[in-house]
Structures are given as structure tokens and as C-alpha cells.
DNA sequence: GTCTATAAGAGGATAGAC
DNA sequence: GTCTATCCTCTTATAGAC
């Protein structure tokens, strides 16, 4: 694609991301997307075949980004706990960096026409499978408590994904702080870790 | 409201719930809602002033249901851990019983017109505040580990709410099983609880 | 590559008969 | 309380000039 068209193509996509996230796919008129991009509605069709194509491209790009990064973590790291930490950080970092894009993925699946839905759902299933692989491995190696792998993956994905709903770059917490808090919640839960140290003969060896 | 109209009013609302959940608010035509309810589109306006009124009524009814039940738990129960268990069970039970209704609340907030949004958001904020009250109390009484109360409430709500997305009454797990798994995940996290018992002098007193 | 003009249709809502 | 008929607006998408 030549440079002069590449730029307008990106502007249109950026405008679509903004309005799809703000009003939802069906409530975002193509005219408004065009206006933000600085052209007429009809001109969009020189760059994209339909409104639906904009949605598919947004979802495809970022689901692939998510999958590629998790595949990299699984390939490069062996320790289950380190893998989990990296996966949580990766998920939250991407969902705060591409906040609007992932919010669209999370809320506009229904807006996908039959033709494209299986493909995008496949990408989402792939991510779940990768995370489940991570969790199962950690359970088999006795690092994680044995529990329902599917439910654990759903719960993790749901809570880390929702960060895209409320996170504000200028808010109370930095991305790194959010990651640290979620990491501890996911690994240790809400309850106090039992005070093991007090019962041990020599009082040595803090667990944390 | 008289009985003969009450029935059609409910039929219309039930049809709206079905189609709003299936296709989304903007993609669900009033004509289709009417067809499922067994009347003509124009007849809906005898029972509701607008399409928007259907959405507001669905959201209002079930957010109030959620708030009332959590308020009851906080009033009747004092023990923080028991309160947490009850709150989780209550949230998941309501979100599986009124699956479509809560799915709409979770995905169609953007479809609310300015006039009604503050009211519904207020009900949602109220629920978050109640849960945060529960969590803060548990931390101050040293039952829960001290951590960020807001984040903990967001995480809990996100993971328990998403059950409405994938739960199937005829699926692999019963509602009670889902509740038990979530409960353990939220309280204990993914990691093994340290094997305290082995280090204790008499080996007595299982923690769980 | 962008424009103007417009097709073609769907949508929410209203009027007024019965 | 429900119907038929219809209004009015908005929307995606296309045709063809520049």
C-alpha cells in the first residue's frame, strides 16, 4: 500500500475505534467516522469495502497481538509462576495501551456478521487455550492449586479484561500498580496467608 | 395495572430481553419484539412510551434486585467471610437465573440515553459501594488481607458477572459447583496454600 | 483519492379507525 | 387494547464527475 493512502486508511480506522468504543458499532454512523477522519462518508469505501470491515480489522489486529505476545511468553519462559506473572502483566498492559480497541472486542462480538464471527471467535478461543495450557502445566507441576482450569481461565480473563473499562492513564493508579495488585489477588486471593512463620521452630524463612 | 394488560406488558418485556441480549439494543428492531410478543409494533406504544423505556425498565428492575439482596446479606450477617461467601453465591445465582437481563446490563450501558444513564449508573455504583463496604470491614477486622478495596471489588464483580456470558443450565457444571469454584478462587487464589500443618509441633489443626 | 448526489431500505414513532 | 397505514428520519452503500 502506498504511503499517501496508508495515512488516510489509518485515520479512518482510528476514527472508527473511537466511535465504536464510545457509542457502539450500530450507533456509530459512518458519516461521523468520516467527519473525524476529515473526509466524506463515500470516500471511506475507497479504503474499506464496508463498515463491517472496519470492525473485523480492529478485532483481528488486536486479538492477534494478544495471542502472539502470550505465545512468546510460553515459548521463552518455563517457570509456571513467572509465566503467570508475565501473562497477567502482558494482558493488562495491552488492555490499557489499546483500551478502546479491546473494549470493542469485549462488547461488540454480537455485531460481527455470521461470515466473520467464527474467525474472530477462533482467535479468542486460541487465547483461552494458551492460558489454559499455562494453568494446567502449573497445576501438574504442583505450583498452582488443582482446580477447574477452564473456570480459572475465564475468571482471570474477565477480571484482567475489564481493566480496559475503568482504567484512566491519569487516574489514581499507574499500570504497574494495577498489575501488581491483580497479580497478588490472582495468586493469593483475598484471605490472609496463614502466619506460618510464628509456628516454625527457628522463626526463620519468611514466605513472602 | 389491570391483569389483562399486565400479561401483554410482560410479554413485550420478555421479548425485548431476548432480542436485546441476542442482537444488542440498537440491532433489535421493535417490529421483531412485537412479533415475538404476538402483536403489531404500534401496539407496544400502548404499554411503553418508547424503545428506550424497555431498556431502562430491564436494567432498573434487575439492578435493584441485586442491590436489595446484597443489602439483606450485609444486614443479616456479621462474619466477614460468611458475608463474602453469601455475596459471591448471591451474585452468581442472580446472574445465572437472569442471565439475559444481566448480560444486557453488562453490555448495553452505552445505549442508555443521557436522561436515564445517571440513574442506572447510580444503582451500579451503589452495588459497588456495598461490596466495598463488605471488603473494607473484612480487612479492618483482619479477616481479609489488606489490599486495594476498589480494585478488589472491580475484579470480583467482573469475574462473577461474566458467568452470565458462558453459563449454560445444561452445561458441565451446576450453579452450585460454579459458586464453589469461584469462592475458592477469590478467597485463596491460584497458588497452593503453604503446607503449614507439616511444620507444626503436634501436626494437629487443619486450617481448612 | 475525494467529491456530490442519490439510491434503497430500515428504523422508531404517530394518527386514527375499530 | 390492538389494528392498519403512514410519516419522517437516518443509514449504508453506489454511481459517476473531477
User: Would you say residue A198 has pLDDT above 50?
Assistant: no
Checking each nucleotide's C1' against the CA of B34, the nearest proves to be D2
B154 neighbourhood in chain A, CB within 8 Å: 159, 162, 166
**Residue appearing with cell numbers 431476548:** B18
pLDDT on residue A199: 42
Domain locations in chain A as residue ranges: 1-49, 51-189
Average pLDDT, chain A: 93
Q: What is the pLDDT of residues A36-93, one digit of tens each?
A: 999 999 999 999 999 999 999 999 999 999 999 999 999 999 999 999 999 999 999 9
Could you say which residues from 35 to 64 on chain B have a Cβ atom under 8 Å away from some Cβ of chain A?
Answer: none
Checking each nucleotide's C1' against the CA of B44, the nearest proves to be D2
pLDDT on residue B118: 98
Contact A199 B194 (CB under 8 A): no
Q: B5-17 burial, b for 16+ CB within 10 Å, e for fewer?
A: eeebbebbbebbb
Could you say which residues from 154 to 183 on chain A have a Cβ atom under 8 Å away from some Cβ of chain B?
Answer: 154-156, 158-159, 161-162, 166, 173, 178, 181-182
User: Would you say residue B196 has pLDDT above 70?
Assistant: no
Q: CA–C1' span, A114 to C11, in Å?
A: 22
Q: What is the mean pLDDT of residues B9-32?
A: 98
User: In angstroms, how far is CA A200 from the centroid of its own chain?
Assistant: 42
Burial class (CB in 10 A: 0-12, 13-18, 19+), B60: middle
pLDDT on residue A193: 75
Asked whether the beta carbons of A182 and A160 are under 8 A apart, the reply is yes
For residue B72, the distance in angstroms to the closest alpha carbon of chain A comes to 22
- At A2, the pLDDT band (50, 70, 90 cuts) reads low
* B198, B206, B208 from A199: Cα distances, Å: 11, 14, 17
- At A192, the pLDDT band (50, 70, 90 cuts) reads confident
Identify the CATH homologous superfamily for domain A51-189: Tetracycline Repressor, domain 2 (1.10.357.10)
User: Would you say residue B185 has pLDDT above 80?
Assistant: yes
Contact A196 B193 (CB under 8 A): no
Q: What is the pLDDT of residues A97-108, one digit of tens each?
A: 999 999 999 999
Q: What is the pLDDT of residues B121-180, one digit of tens each?
A: 999 999 999 999 999 999 999 999 999 999 999 999 999 999 999 999 999 999 999 999
Whether any strand D atom is under 7 angstroms from the Cβ of A40: the reply reads no
Whether any strand C atom is under 7 angstroms from the Cβ of A114: the reply reads no
Instruction: Please state, in angstroms and rounded to a whole number, the distance separating the CA atoms of residues A66 and A124.
Output: 9
pLDDT on residue B195: 53
Instruction: Please state, in angstroms and rounded to a whole number, the distance separating the CA atoms of residues B101 and B107.
Output: 10
Which DSSP category does A188 fall into?
A: H
Asked whether the beta carbons of B58 and B104 are under 8 A apart, the reply is yes
pLDDT on residue B207: 40
Checking each nucleotide's C1' against the CA of A46, the nearest proves to be C1
Does the CB of B151 have a partner CB in chain A at under 8 Å?
A: yes
Instruction: Please state, in angstroms and rounded to a whole number, the distance separating the CA atoms of residues A76 and B102.
Output: 40
Which DSSP category does A172 fall into?
A: S
- At A31, the pLDDT band (50, 70, 90 cuts) reads very high
**Would you say the CATH fold of B51-189 matches that of B1-49?**
no
Q: What is the mean pLDDT of residues A173-187?
A: 98
Percent of chain A surpassing pLDDT 70: 90
pLDDT on residue A3: 56
What CATH architecture does domain A1-49 belong to? Answer: Orthogonal Bundle (1.10)
**Residue appearing with cell numbers 421483531:** B32
User: In angstroms, how far is CA B136 from the centroid of its own chain?
Assistant: 20
Nearest chain B Cα to A112, which residue?
A: B23
Could you say which residues from 62 to 81 on chain A have a Cβ atom under 8 Å away from some Cβ of chain B?
Answer: 81
User: Would you say residue B110 has pLDDT above 80?
Assistant: yes
Nearest chain B Cα to A107, which residue?
A: B107
Q: Count of residues for chain A?
A: 208
Percent of chain B surpassing pLDDT 70: 90
Amino acid at each position: 500500500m502506498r504511503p499517501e493512502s496508508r495515512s488516510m486508511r489509518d485515520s479512518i480506522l482510528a476514527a472508527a475505534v473511537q466511535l465504536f468504543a464510545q457509542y457502539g458499532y450500530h450507533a456509530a454512523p459512518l458519516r461521523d467516522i468520516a467527519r473525524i477522519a476529515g473526509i466524506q462518508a463515500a470516500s471511506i469505501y475507497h479504503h474499506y469495502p464496508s463498515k463491517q470491515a472496519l470492525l473485523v480489522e480492529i478485532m483481528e489486529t488486536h486479538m492477534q497481538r494478544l495471542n502472539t505476545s502470550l505465545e512468546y511468553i510460553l515459548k521463552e519462559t518455563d517457570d509456571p509462576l513467572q509465566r503467570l506473572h508475565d501473562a497477567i502483566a502482558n494482558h493488562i498492559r495491552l488492555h490499557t495501551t489499546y483500551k478502546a480497541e479491546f473494549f470493542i472486542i469485549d462488547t461488540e462480538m454480537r455485531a460481527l456478521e455470521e461470515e466473520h464471527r467464527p474467525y474472530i471467535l477462533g482467535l479468542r478461543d486460541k487465547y483461552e487455550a494458551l492460558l489454559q495450557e499455562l494453568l494446567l502445566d502449573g497445576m501438574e507441576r504442583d505450583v498452582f492449586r488443582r482446580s477447574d482450569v477452564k473456570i480459572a481461565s475465564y475468571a482471570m480473563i474477565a477480571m484482567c479484561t475489564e481493566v480496559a473499562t475503568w482504567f484512566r492513564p491519569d487516574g489514581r493508579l499507574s499500570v504497574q500498580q494495577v498489575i501488581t495488585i491483580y497479580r497478588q489477588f490472582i495468586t493469593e486471593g483475598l484471605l490472609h496467608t496463614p502466619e506460618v512463620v510464628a509456628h516454625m521452630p527457628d522463626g526463620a524463612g519468611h514466605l513472602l
